[in-house]
Structures are given as structure tokens and as C-alpha cells.
Amino acid sequence: MTSALRIAVLSAWHVHAEEYGRAAIDHPDTELVAVWDDDAARGQELAERLGVDFVPDLDQLLARDDLDGVTVTTATSDHVPVLTAVIASGKHVFTEKLLAPTVEGCDELTRRAADAGVQLTVSLPRLSDGYTVALREVLEAGTLGRLTYSRVRLAHDGSVSDWLPARFYDAEQALGGAFSDLAAHPVYLTQLILGAETTSVQPTYTDMTGRGVEDNAVVTVTTADGAIGVIETGFVTPASRFTIEVHGTQGSLLYGFEPGPDGAPVMRVDTRQGSQRIEVPPSIAPPFAQWVEAIRTGRPTTENLQRARDLTALVTAANHAAHA
């Protein structure tokens, strides 16, 4: 029987730190062994919740022969130095998005990981969800014809209900506000729908709660073929459904605008021939499980890394345009 991979959580800075730690506990092929954080009190608190040791010295932790990989949930601004150190130690990396603050940083980390034989995977979870599986099938079938427009919305009330940590409003640590964080998901879904190449990126950012970063944002992208993509996000909406709409010359796809009999969101395709409800299949393996499989097989999560790079390119372009 193959022994379990031993995993450590690097930092409780991000709100998903505990989630990834529990993924390591719950996965049958991994074992969570430690937590590190440059903030000892924060790291100790997470370690106690997860039932593992807190290790205050990162170099000491990475030098352990019995450690196989880490999940990285540091401040986004710390990704490059922390991931560089982890890769140099030969440990595998599962990291929160954004992979790096720049496309060049993404490329350098990916190159270093490949050279070191380290499996690197970025958490892009909505690519694994059942609605995305169904969306891919509709797009690949060409049912909608030539695509003309897409809109993906994902928002929550983290600012108006004040449950987001204050550090999420530190533009230096978080590389921005809502668009650098929450919008990552509608960004990579928009790129799945329309492709990653754009001819224009036009952001509208507002700061509704006065914290100094955007907490309400819309970015419009245009493709060379003339399609328009609208990406909506924010921390100031208490009751906003996650929705996807895609329109083409032959039909439209809508997801999340109506509940089914079981309360789950419905996906529907409307064409000249009529309206058809699309069965949403089960989700496929989530990014953490894909990472574990990559470690076991030695086959990198190539699509994941390309989409992480494309995501970074669009987010940085939007942020640059918003602050130009």
C-alpha cells in the first residue's frame, strides 16, 4: 500500500486556508502534519483547529524529509518568494490564486517547478463543478453557434456584513480588492467560454464601503471575433445568485436564473427549436484531488496552469487599466 502524502499548510492569511487543510485531512492519500505562518498567533490558532503542530520556522519545515507537499494560502503578494522556496526544497505545491502578481512571475514559477520535478496546481475549483462540465459540452457541440456575448456574475456580502478579514482590503498584500480575489472565478469561466485572447479590457471599479480598494466591479472584455464578455463581482451584495449566460447566433445558455424542483440551479439552452433543460452532471475531481493525482502519476496539471496564467493576465490588465 502506498503511504499517504504528508502535507503542511503555509499560512492562515487566506480565508480558504482551513478548507485546504481539511482537504488534506479528508483525502485518502494525504495526511496533514503541520501549519506554518509568519504570524505565529494566527498560525497557532489554525493549527489547533486542524489538530496538527504549528511550526514557526519555514526553512525548518521545508527541510523535513517526511514532508511531501504544501498548500499555500499566504498573502498573494508573498506567493513568489514562498513558492520559490518551496519549489527549491523539492516539495509539491497546491496554491490559492493568483499564482503570482504578474504573468512573468507565473511563467518563472511554472518553469522552476517543471525543472525541479515539483507538481504545481492552482485552486480554480469552479472548473470542476458539474455546471462547468455541462457548459463545456454545450460549447463543444456548437449548439449556440458563433458566440456573441457572455456574462458571469459572482458576488457576496463580505464587506457589508463585515466577515472578510481586514487584510483582504490591503491592496499591497491582496494585489487589489474584489476583482483580484472573488472575480478570479468568473474570469476563468469567461475565458473558458470566449477564450483567453482579448482585444480590449475595460474595468469599472467602485469602493462602496470606503476601505480603499474596489468592492464592486465590472470588467468588460472583447474578443477578436467581436464577442463581448462581462465579468461581475463584488463584496457588497447580500442576495446575488451565481449566474452564467452565454449567447450566440444560434441560441443561448442560462444557468442559475431559476431553481429546479429540488432547489438546485437549472441550466437551460434556448434555440429557435425551443427551450431545453440541460442535466447538470456530477462534478469531476476538484483541484486538490487533481494535484494529488499529479504527484502520484508525475503528470502535471497542464490545463490548470495555463488557465492560471491566463487568469493572471486578465486580472492584471484590468487592475492596470482601472488605475491608469
Nearest to 222 by CA among 318, 113, 107, 324: 318
> Where in the chain are the domains?
5-124+286-299, 129-283
pLDDT tens-place string over residues 136-154? 999 999 999 999 999 999 9
pLDDT of residue 2: 74
Q: Specify the CATH number for 5-124+286-299; select among 3.40.50.720, 1.10.3720.10, 3.20.20.80, 3.40.50.1360.
A: 3.40.50.720
Domain 129-283 has CATH 3.30.360.10: yes
Burial class (CB in 10 A: 0-12, 13-18, 19+), 260: exposed
Contact 16, 122 (CB under 8 A): no
CA atoms of 309 and 290, how far apart (whole Å): 18
Burial class (CB in 10 A: 0-12, 13-18, 19+), 158: buried
pLDDT tens-place string over residues 9-61? 999 999 999 999 999 999 999 999 999 999 999 999 999 999 999 999 999 99
Q: Is the pLDDT of residue 1 over 70?
A: no
CA atoms of 34 and 215, how far apart (whole Å): 34
Residues whose CB is less than 8 angstroms from the CB of residue 289 and which lie 6 or more positions away in sequence, other chains included:
27
pLDDT of residue 324: 85
| Greatest distance between any 2 Cα atoms in the chain | 64
Whether the model pTM is above 0.85? yes
HEC string of the chain equals: CCCCEEEEEECCCCCCHHHHHHHHHHCCCEEEEEEECCCHHHHHHHHHHHCCEECCCHHHHHCCCCCCEEEECCCHHHHHHHHHHHHHCCCEEEECCCCCCCHHHHHHHHHHHHHHCCCEEECCHHHCCHHHHHHHHHHHHCCCCCEEEEEEEEECCCCCCCCCCHHHHCHHHHCCCCCCCCCHHHHHHHHHHHCCCCCEEEEEEECCCCCCCCCEEEEEEECCCCCEEEEEEECCCCCCCCEEEEEECCEEEEEEEEECCCCCEEEEEEECCEEEEECCCCCCCCHHHHHHHHHHHCCCCHHHHHHHHHHHHHHHHHHHHHHC
pLDDT of residue 300: 97
Q: Is the pLDDT of residue 84 over 50?
A: yes
